[in-house]
Structures are given as C-alpha cells and as structure tokens.
Chains A and B, each alone.
Chain A
Amino acid sequence: DAKTTQPNSMESNEEEPVHLPCNHSTISGTDYIHWYRQLPSQGPEYVIHGLTSNVNNRMASLAIAEDRKSSTLILHRATLRDAAVYYCILRGSNYGQNFVFGPGTRLSVLP
C-alpha cells in the first residue's frame, strides 16, 4: 500500500512562507494527494488535493513533483492560526486505505 512520510515537526516565523514536504515514493498512477490539517482541539480540516498538476486555493498551494513521488504544501504567509498538525494522505481505488492518516507534521508558528 502506498504510504507517506513527513517530518515530525517544523517551525516557521509569522508572515513567512512555509513549505511542508511529503514523500510518497510508492504512489500509484490513480492516487490523489490530499492534505488535511488539525488545529488544536478541533477535527481535521481539508486543505487541498491534487493528482498531477500544481493546485491553488484560498488556503494553500500544492506543488507536485513531476514523478509524483513527492509533494509540497505551501502556505504563502503563515499566521499564528496556521499552527496545526498537517497530514498528507494518498487516496486511490483501495477504499480502506484511503482514510489512513500518517503521523503528520506538527507546524509551530513563531510570532
């Protein structure tokens, strides 16, 4: 089953860009890359997802490597509210595996 690896933790300064990496070297051609985040004392929140092309939305950008073996979630200007655990998840045709969260990256944002 395709799995993801992420750094355990990262730090950023407020109002600076943040690049959160995710490796998924065994990704299959039909797997989508999803990102969620979980703020303290809240349920996870959808951030963004993509298949092959880079994606932008109001929350973040997703940059996907050409070989799709890695991706990067980009927060353009980190705020204190962005301090959370960020999860990179692969979703494909194996429904049971679609909802497996890895350990995620704990992002701290310094004022």
Chain B
Amino acid sequence: DTEVTQTPKHLVMGMTNKKSLKCEQHMGHRAMYWYKQKAKKPPELMFVYSYEKLSINESVPSRFSPECPNSSLLNLHLHALQPEDSALYLCASSQALAGAPLYEQYFGPGTRLTVT
C-alpha cells in the first residue's frame, strides 16, 4: 500500500472556527510533511515530523498547529484562520528524514480549504 490518505477532501470554515485536517499512511514511513499550495503556485513546505517529533517548522503562524500522535498519523489543527489561508493543504511521507535525498516522497491528494 503506497497511499497517503487525507481527510476531509474539502473544508469550508469561518474565521472563528476550529477544525483539523487528518493525514494517514501505512507504509512504515518515519517522516511526514505538511505543505500549503496556493492556486497556480508550487507547494510550500510548512512542517516536517521525523519519528513523531517536529523537526522543521518553516515559520508558520501559530494559527496552524501540527500534531503527530503516532507514526501513521499526522494532523493539522486550524484555529482563527484568515481568508488568505485558503489553499490546498498537502500531506506527504517518506521513509526517513535522515537520508532524505535518497527517498521519494509520497503525497496525498490534499484538502482544499476555504476560509470565509
């Protein structure tokens, strides 16, 4: 199984809501990633988890809060978002962060988020 699943596929939320995005993989990968992608732009890295610990935070605002409860799951908790946060949020996994140049990343289909 080389699949990364993401739920929900679409999410509409108000600026005062709290919601969560979920990502799951069962490939035994120990590195997991969140990316943000605006329309017609390349994905931008937000967070990297390695062995369930946050390894890279690309200066993302605190209204985005990642969580890695176990090696298969990655969540992104959202609170008090702004309309400009509307984007496609992509999750990815790879075998490990160390040795990253050697490993391919597997991406999920993304969650399309609209903030109203």
**Interface pair A44/B107, CB less than 8 Å apart:** yes
Q: Which of chain A's residues has its CB closest to B56's CB?
A: A96
Q: Which of chain A's residues has its CB closest to B112's CB?
A: A41
Residues of B within 8 A of A41 (CB): 109
Interface residues as binary, B104-116 with A (CB distance below 8 Å gives 1, 0 otherwise): 1111111000000
Expressed in whole angstroms, the Cα–Cα distance for A100 and B110 within the complex equals: 18
Interface residues in B80-102 (C-beta closer than 8 Å to A) = 90, 92, 97, 100-102
Residues of A within 8 A of B49 (CB): none
Asked whether A45 is an interface residue with its Cβ less than 8 Å from the other chain, the reply is yes
Residues of A within 8 A of B97 (CB): 95
Expressed in whole angstroms, the Cα–Cα distance for A56 and B65 within the complex equals: 40
Expressed in whole angstroms, the Cα–Cα distance for A27 and B43 within the complex equals: 21
**Interface pair A46/B100, CB less than 8 Å apart:** no
Binds B, one of A12-20, A62-70, A73-81, A101-109: A101-109
- Minimal beta-carbon separation of B101 from chain A (angstroms): 4
Please count how many residues in chain B sit with their CB below 8 Å of the partner chain's CB atoms.
25
**Interface pair B100/A98, CB less than 8 Å apart:** yes
Asked whether B55 is an interface residue with its Cβ less than 8 Å from the other chain, the reply is yes
- Minimal beta-carbon separation of B41 from chain A (angstroms): 8
**Interface pair B104/A100, CB less than 8 Å apart:** no
- Minimal beta-carbon separation of A59 from chain B (angstroms): 11
27 contacts between A and B (CB under 8 A): A30-B101, A31-B101, A32-B102, A42-B109, A42-B110, A43-B90, A43-B92, A43-B107, A43-B108, A43-B109, A44-B90, A44-B92, A46-B104, A46-B106, A49-B104, A91-B100, A91-B101, A92-B101, A95-B48, A95-B55, A96-B56, A96-B58, A99-B105, A100-B45, A101-B43, A101-B44, A104-B42
| B-binding residues in A (CB < 8 A) | 30-32, 34, 36, 41-46, 49, 85, 87, 91-93, 95-96, 98-104
